[in-house]
Amino acid sequence: MAWQSVLMERHRTGDIIMLMPGHSPALNPFLPASEAERQLLDLLHEPLLRIDRQGNLGTALAEQWTWHQNMTCWFDSPTQVKQAAEAIAAQPAEKRASWDLEKVTADGSSLVLRFAHPGSKVADEVMAVVAMQKPQPLTMLRVSLTPNQRSTIESFAKHRDHLASTKRLWFDEDGSCELVTTRTIVQAQQAVMDWFRQSLMPVPEIRPLAELTALLEPVLDFRLKNTARWSTDEPVTAGDVMATVYFVMQRPWPLSGRDTFRQIQSITEPEKGHLHIVYRGRYSMALPAWTGLPILQASWLKKHAHDFETQLPPGAGAWKISHRAEDRLTLEKPAEPTMPKIQVLLNQPDWLQELGVLLRSYDLFWPSAEQLEQLKTQPAWRLLPAPPHSQLMLVWQTESSALKDLQVREALARALERESLRKLMPGGRARVHDSFFPPGLWFSETGAGKRYDLIEAEKRFTSAGFIRDVSGQWKKAGQPLHLRIITPAGNMDRQRLALALAASWMKFGISVQTLEVPPDRYVADLQNGQFDVAILGGELTPGWDVLPLWHSSQRQGRGLNISRVADPQLDLLLEALVAEFEPLQVPRRAAAVEARLAELRPALPLFTDVSEMAARQDRFLGLGEFDAARGITLRELLGSLQAQTRPTLKLEMLPPK
Residue 645 has pLDDT above 50, yes or no: no
Residue 150 has pLDDT above 80, yes or no: yes
Judged by DSSP in three states, 69 sits in strand
Residue 403: per-residue pLDDT = 94
Residue 237 has pLDDT above 90, yes or no: yes
Write the pLDDT tens digit of every residue in 625-635.
888 888 899 99
Cα separation values, 527 from 235, 534, 553, 637, Å: 49, 11, 13, 43
How crowded is the C-beta side of 533, counted as CA atoms within 13 Å?
Answer: 30
- The answer to whether residues 619 and 363 touch, using CB atoms and an 8 Å cutoff, is yes
Distance CA 293, CA 47 (A): 5
More confident site: 348 or 530? 530
CB-neighbour burial class of residue 160 (10 A; exposed 0-12, middle 13-18, buried 19+): exposed
Residue 639: per-residue pLDDT = 86
Residue 561: per-residue pLDDT = 94
Residue 651: per-residue pLDDT = 43
Residue 46: per-residue pLDDT = 96
Task: Provide mean pLDDT across the span 349-353.
Answer: 74
Distance CA 404, CA 602 (A): 10
- The answer to whether residues 289 and 241 touch, using CB atoms and an 8 Å cutoff, is no
Residue 654: per-residue pLDDT = 45
Residue 6: per-residue pLDDT = 57
Can you give 155-184 as a three-state secondary structure string? HHHHCCCCCCCEEEEEECCCCCEEEEECCC
The model's pTM is: 0.87
Write the pLDDT tens digit of every residue in 271-314.
999 999 999 876 778 899 999 999 999 999 999 988 888 888 99
Task: Provide mean pLDDT across the span 113-117.
Answer: 87
Residue spans of beta strands (DSSP E) within 376-419: 381-385, 390-396
Distance CA 551, CA 32 (A): 33
Residue 4: per-residue pLDDT = 57
Report the share of the chain in percent with pLDDT over 70: 93
Residue 657 has pLDDT above 50, yes or no: no
Distance CA 419, CA 416 (A): 9
